[in-house]
Structure 1
Amino acid sequence: MPPPTCLLHEVANATVDYVICGGGTAGLALAARLTEDPSISVTVLEAGPPNLEDPKILIPGQFGATFSDPKYDWCFSTVPQKDSNDRVFDWPRGKCLGGSSAINFCAWTKPPAQDIDAIEKLGNPGWNWSEYIKYSMKSETFREASEDQMSIYPHTYDKDYRGMSGPIQTTVPHLAHTVDEVFQRTLVNKGVKAIRDPYGGDITGTWIAAATLDRTSWTRSYAATAYYLPNRKRTNLKVLTSATVARLIWRNAPAGETLTATGVDFIYEGQSYSIHVRKEVILSAGAIKSPQILELSGTLNAGAGIGTTPALSRIGVDQKIDLPVGENVQEHVFLGVSYELSPDRYHETLDSLRDPEFAARQRELYKELKGLYRLGITSLSYLPLSFYSPTSADQIIEEVHRRILDYKNAASLPPGRLEQLDVQLNALRDGTVPDVEFIGFPGYFTPITKPETGKNYITVLIVSTHPFSRGTIHASSPDPLEQPEIDPCYLEDDHDLQILAEAVKFVRSLTDIEPWKSGTVREINPGPSCTTDEEIHEYIKSTQASCWHTVGSCSMLPRDKGGVVDPDLKASVYGTSNVRVVDLSIIPLHVASHTYGMCHHQFRIACP
């Protein structure tokens, strides 16, 4: 196993140009980019272990195998969600080199162009589709499907939308092609547009996605393999693992003056240490930890906490800069509608892996680069409300409009929120921007009942894309090792619930369309006893789960519109001279995409 690039004594009390807090996708991408200049010194502090060459990470097809294991996962959880039957939700996040890219489901998607352009419209010049796609394509090397794959399931793509020389390897994974055929053909027969290539800004339709897999080895391609391992021998790059960032160190300054970070305090094997910077401290600790670090950065030095007065006073931290840190949190949720597949056709689904003997045979096949462990979750469809619920869309849109007018009349929203809601309303009205993602998952994936041995299932996962509900993430105590308090406020805005409920009805309508009609036997969950709107709503509240796509907790917006970091493509924290945030916490309005494809664009905003 390749060792970390440095030991504690090389970092403690050292002085470097840049300290990067967090060794996930954005942090490692940035470290690789900065250290291309040998005169620039960079140290990355990562809270988790290296976990390099770990089969649990590298071998695909083990979806969720690392969740709730503290060797890989932060094991975050939310506070009880009052609009989801007081349930507490697990929020897995990667705690190792590579961050969440080491434990995600390897989905490689990109948002619609309108979603990226919306970020610019909110006051972020340069955050538009043409810039995003240019940098995003630089991050990937795409390998097309093999002839064998094409012979059983045709796959189309446009080379103008795929990167061919970047560090992240993407490809068409092994497909559960019979299940994909049922899902994709049914949607097309329902009137959904088949997308030739979803990576050029138009994702509204149905399509097969790529996955972040290295086709030569059929292993996960993630931040550690793409950005760390190829550059680990650079003498100007040091990475210390098992080092938890506690707080930023500030140079003493009179009240009201700009704060300058001189270094970072971190915890290693239970002891506190410091590292000092000449140029910048860059937070890439993720949408959960980055706000916590900012809020706690005043606990030991001159009362220099950054955040809102209520959040800081609650944990006994004096406020130095008043910013809405930890606010505007947005998160995708999903739920499943599951069906038993007809036994008249052989299906290769993940259900078979519940059989230990079958799973063992598949692991042996994997050694020959064959078998089910190369499977990806790639059969996707993104649809607007006006398509999947034409009878209810106008009513829901009008209700959203009236709600926004009420907010305007009452002036009861935080700064900048109305502008966000107006963007979301316009997207609903537009009819071309997708409001829900539908995933054809090749297996059983609903929590109410248990699958039967020997049977195969398809679960249509319904994913929110532009939630109206807003939550918070705040430090729960002055102790940096304590979990922050996460309150996503799921379904607080009842329009989120209505949009999901209409999606459930749409999935159920597929049973009248071939090949779904003859290819499935029965609906398992929610089941035939769930028929009324109230029962569907209860099913959603009882079964929805997080997608772990959190954004917004350090939003990039004008300061008077609720911004934490500035919009000039540097993402500097307001009121500081040399602190930046480069992870997904800066995205101010959610996008219709799995978020891994957003992380690689971040490095451009933090490079000098």
Structure 2
Amino acid sequence: MRSVFFLSAISACSIAHGKLYTDPHQLPKTQYDFVIIGAGTAGNVIATRLTENSAFTVLVVEAGISNVGILADEVPFLGPTLSPDTSVTWNFTTVPQSGLDSRAIPYPRGRVLGGSSTINFEIWTRGSEDDYNRYAEVSGDEGWSWNEMLPYMKKSETLVTSTDNHNTSGQVNPAVHGTSGPVKISIPGVTTTVDTRVFNTTNELPDEFPFNLDMNSGNPIGIGRPIFLGSAMAQFADTIVLIGWTQNSVDSFGRRSSSATAYLELILSRSNLDVLIQTQVTKLVQTSSKGTPAFNKVEVAQNSSSARMIVSAKNEVILCAGSIGTPQILQLSGIGDPAVLRSAGVTPLVQLDDVGKHLTDHPFLGNQWLVNSDLTLEAVSRNETLVADLLEQWNTTGTGLFSVPGANDIGWLRLPQSTFDGSTDPSAGPTSAHFEVLPVNGFVSFVVPTPDTGFFLTMVTTVASPASRGTVTLASSDPFADPVIDPALLTDPVDLAIMVGAIKAVRTLVTAPAWDGYIIAPVPAFGNATTDAELEAYAQAFTTTVFHPVGTARMSAEGSGVGVVDASLRVKNVTGLRIVDASVFPFIPAAHPQAAVYAFAERASDLIKAAW
């Protein structure tokens, strides 16, 4: 379907009023107060907040192209067509995954203004109180706690009306949301028969699957209590599932709200900001070796054969290249584990052993049933005339199926503590999910193609609090070579146990009366797995990633002896260098991470401004 959907008209310099450069030699100067590496989710927030001070000069360097004119970027429903293997992504591939039957999997990241906020699936979830309180604990800074971060979460967002302008009372709690932030978030403006069945299930099985008004209140799970439900749900004693409406980064006009559209486009006319695109950072350059090493210079080039050029920062270089790009740039610059650096042919300059380690991601599994309906996504994907009609509806009114990303409902679940006998519970606490459930009105899998016939329901299960840890390392000293990425998905037995529990939960969910006459049968690979061993084998054969890498430059307390950045996100053992992106998360939030990245970037902006 990408040939139908991925319609792009790239215009690298067409944002109105902007100073957007495509060649480093076009820059009016080579020294700025701040140089931001990466115009992604976090980088555009930092650029916006720093340039509020007219005395600061800021350069943003982005390897990718402009987002302007890319239709699939604007249309929420077309988001999945933006990756992998497109012009707006880093088209990485992992090493073979031992936890996934030795499969190597695509690992795209955003290579475009807005970064991964331009190509993601737009789900807006902050995470739990316990997620943030654990960040505060490991960093030694209460500023990262839920109560202290909530104002920054609200600062980044505005809750807006749905595209169909329906009354959302009972679907969201406006009191916990922002009213004047850049990113627009909304409840889906289109409902499906799956939504009706999901929410009928919350009435029919209220003990197993109660309704949650707002997943972003800080308590998406609630307090678990013993529930004794007979053999069907006996394995879920001490658990509670909450299901609610998905919130998405989509505005009232049915357009994606990314860091490029919500932040960067609004500030390009500022005289103290320059943005350089289609230019890659090749390394950071050490500017002082006396005392604590300083890294205030940035080497850039447009490709492997072009001349390299230096830009410098009077105050700080701020690395916002994401959980893959950030450790790669640090290692190319001689910052990391000396043994890892030497093996790639890089001279070690600063020892920080945790660089590129502790990579954490959410394993993703699509569980499908054949259904007795022709009102599923297959009816769209197999009908190019209908695609054109829906696109025209979106283009003229901003409404209809193309105004929503595709998953209208979302659920979170905790497993009983007996699941972790002999192991550590990887979640942050009782308000953090062990796994997520996303019901989708169609066939969803990043592993196998959609069948040519039949109509489907998918219950996506995602391990929300994984224990597995992977790495990002250099393949060589060539900055234009892809790094070696090993997310180590499902390598920890705890993650496999969580995924098996998730599969059992969604099988129970569709036994509610709401699904009578709708479910025909599970697809064979799913239906044939019945024992725990068979479910484990099924999960290993069909699990992939939902593209949420974090943790490769993790935050820790000063003097802890571990981590890459301190509680103010300054890189340890150096000066002049700070990191603001998902790589600094000490643990992955039990959430789709974009909302947390925005909140981190908002607080980081205040920390930077306070320092200068």
Q: Give the superposition deviation at 1:449.
A: 6.8
CA distance in 1, matches of 2:490, 2:506: 20
Structure 1 residue 325 and structure 2 residue 355: aligned? yes
SS in 2 for 1:600: helix
Structure 1 residue 76 and structure 2 residue 92: aligned? yes
Indicate if the aligned counterparts of 1:12 and 1:274 stay in contact, CA closer than 8 A.
no
Indicate if the aligned counterparts of 1:250 and 1:262 stay in contact, CA closer than 8 A.
yes
Q: Give the superposition deviation at 1:351.
A: 4.5
Partner of 1:134: 151
SS in 1 for 2:265: helix
Q: Give the superposition deviation at 1:187.
A: 4.3
Q: Give the superposition deviation at 1:498.
A: 1.1
Indicate if the aligned counterparts of 2:201 and 2:513 stay in contact, CA closer than 8 A.
yes
SS in 2 for 1:602: helix
CA distance in 2, matches of 1:449, 1:40: 50
Unaligned runs of 5+ in 2: 1-13, 222-241
TM-score when scaled to structure 1? 0.88
Q: Which amino acid counterpart does residue 144 of structure 1 have in structure 2?
A: T
Structure 1 residue 5 and structure 2 residue 19: aligned? yes
Partner of 1:218: 254
Indicate if the aligned counterparts of 2:301 and 2:308 stay in contact, CA closer than 8 A.
yes
Structure 1 residue 579 and structure 2 residue 577: aligned? yes
Indicate if the aligned counterparts of 2:163 and 2:251 stay in contact, CA closer than 8 A.
no
Q: Which amino acid counterpart does residue 564 of structure 1 have in structure 2?
A: V
Partner of 1:534: 533
Indicate if the aligned counterparts of 2:338 and 2:348 stay in contact, CA closer than 8 A.
yes
For 1:206, which of 205, 229, 243 is the aligned residue?
Answer: 243
CA distance in 2, matches of 1:280, 1:382: 40
Indicate if the aligned counterparts of 2:67 and 2:118 stay in contact, CA closer than 8 A.
no
CA distance in 2, matches of 1:359, 1:41: 45
Q: Which amino acid counterpart does residue 420 of structure 2 have in structure 1?
A: I
Indicate if the aligned counterparts of 1:351 and 1:444 stay in contact, CA closer than 8 A.
no
CA distance in 2, matches of 1:525, 1:148: 41
Structure 1 residue 352 and structure 2 residue 380: aligned? yes
Q: Give the superposition deviation at 1:425.
A: 6.5
CA distance in 1, matches of 2:327, 2:551: 10
CA distance in 2, matches of 1:199, 1:488: 27
Deviations 1:234-254 (A, max 9, x none): 110000000101111112314
Change over 3 Å in CA distance of 1:149–1:520 after alignment to 2? farther
Structure 1 residue 398 and structure 2 residue 435: aligned? no
Indicate if the aligned counterparts of 1:337 and 1:525 stay in contact, CA closer than 8 A.
no
SS in 1 for 2:530: coil
Deviations 1:216-235 (A, max 9, x none): x3111101111111110111
Q: Which amino acid counterpart does residue 451 of structure 1 have in structure 2?
A: P
Partner of 1:415: none
Indicate if the aligned counterparts of 2:213 and 2:245 stay in contact, CA closer than 8 A.
no
Indicate if the aligned counterparts of 1:176 and 1:375 stay in contact, CA closer than 8 A.
no
Aligned length: 560
Indicate if the aligned counterparts of 2:172 and 2:245 stay in contact, CA closer than 8 A.
no
Structure 1 residue 509 and structure 2 residue 508: aligned? yes
Q: Which amino acid counterpart does residue 570 of structure 2 have in structure 1?
A: S
Partner of 2:341: 312
Deviations 1:454-502 (A, max 9, x none): x432200001111111111112111111111111111221111011011
CA distance in 2, matches of 1:350, 1:44: 41
Deviations 1:409-437 (A, max 9, x none): xxxxxxxxxxxx7xx3673xx4x531000
Partner of 1:33: 49
Change over 3 Å in CA distance of 1:351–1:124 after alignment to 2? farther
Structure 1 residue 110 and structure 2 residue 121: aligned? no
Indicate if the aligned counterparts of 1:107 and 1:378 stay in contact, CA closer than 8 A.
no
Deviations 1:311-365 (A, max 9, x none): 111112222221110011111111011122323xx73536423321211121122
CA distance in 2, matches of 1:351, 1:495: 38
Q: Give the superposition deviation at 1:188.
A: 4.5
SS in 1 for 2:296: strand
Change over 3 Å in CA distance of 1:41–1:426 after alignment to 2? closer
Q: Which amino acid counterpart does residue 352 of structure 1 have in structure 2?
A: V
Partner of 2:489: 490
TM-score when scaled to structure 2? 0.88
Structure 1 residue 380 and structure 2 residue 410: aligned? yes
Indicate if the aligned counterparts of 2:73 and 2:79 stay in contact, CA closer than 8 A.
no
CA distance in 2, matches of 1:494, 1:517: 35
Change over 3 Å in CA distance of 1:351–1:566 after alignment to 2? farther
Partner of 1:197: 214
Q: How does 1:231-380 map to 2 (within 5 A)?
A: 231-254=267-290, 257-269=291-303, 270-297=306-333, 305-323=334-352, 324-343=354-373, 347=375, 349=377, 351-369=379-397, 370-376=399-405, 377-380=407-410
Change over 3 Å in CA distance of 1:79–1:13 after alignment to 2? farther
CA distance in 1, matches of 2:151, 2:344: 43
CA distance in 1, matches of 2:467, 2:134: 15
Partner of 1:407: none
CA distance in 2, matches of 1:188, 1:81: 40
Q: Which amino acid counterpart does residue 35 of structure 1 have in structure 2?
A: T
Change over 3 Å in CA distance of 1:525–1:577 after alignment to 2? farther
Indicate if the aligned counterparts of 1:11 and 1:275 stay in contact, CA closer than 8 A.
no
Indicate if the aligned counterparts of 2:164 and 2:190 stay in contact, CA closer than 8 A.
no
CA distance in 2, matches of 1:530, 1:187: 26
CA distance in 2, matches of 1:154, 1:496: 37
In terms of mean alpha carbon deviation, does 45-54 or 362-371 score higher?
362-371
Q: Which amino acid counterpart does residue 64 of structure 2 have in structure 1?
A: G
Partner of 1:596: 594
Q: Give the superposition deviation at 1:581.
A: 0.2
Change over 3 Å in CA distance of 1:443–1:351 after alignment to 2? farther
Q: How does 1:426-505 map to 2 (within 5 A)?
A: 427=429, 430=430, 432-446=431-445, 447-448=447-448, 450-453=450-453, 455-505=454-504
Partner of 2:8: none
Indicate if the aligned counterparts of 2:318 and 2:579 stay in contact, CA closer than 8 A.
yes
Deviations 1:63-109 (A, max 9, x none): 32111234101011110111211100111111010000111111111
CA distance in 2, matches of 1:271, 1:564: 31
Partner of 1:182: 197
Q: Give the superposition deviation at 1:148.
A: 6.2
CA distance in 2, matches of 1:289, 1:500: 29
Deviations 1:489-530 (A, max 9, x none): 112211110110111112112332120233322212534322
Q: Percent identity?
A: 29
Indicate if the aligned counterparts of 2:114 and 2:258 stay in contact, CA closer than 8 A.
yes
SS in 1 for 2:513: coil
CA distance in 1, matches of 2:287, 2:68: 37
Q: Give the superposition deviation at 1:531.
A: 1.5
Change over 3 Å in CA distance of 1:60–1:564 after alignment to 2? same
Indicate if the aligned counterparts of 2:444 and 2:450 stay in contact, CA closer than 8 A.
no
Unaligned runs of 5+ in 1: 298-304, 387-392, 402-420
CA distance in 2, matches of 1:528, 1:37: 59
Structure 1 residue 144 and structure 2 residue 144: aligned? no
Q: Give the superposition deviation at 1:133.
A: 1.4
Q: For the aligned residues, what is the CA RMSD?
A: 2.0
Partner of 1:162: 177
Q: Give the superposition deviation at 1:452.
A: 4.5
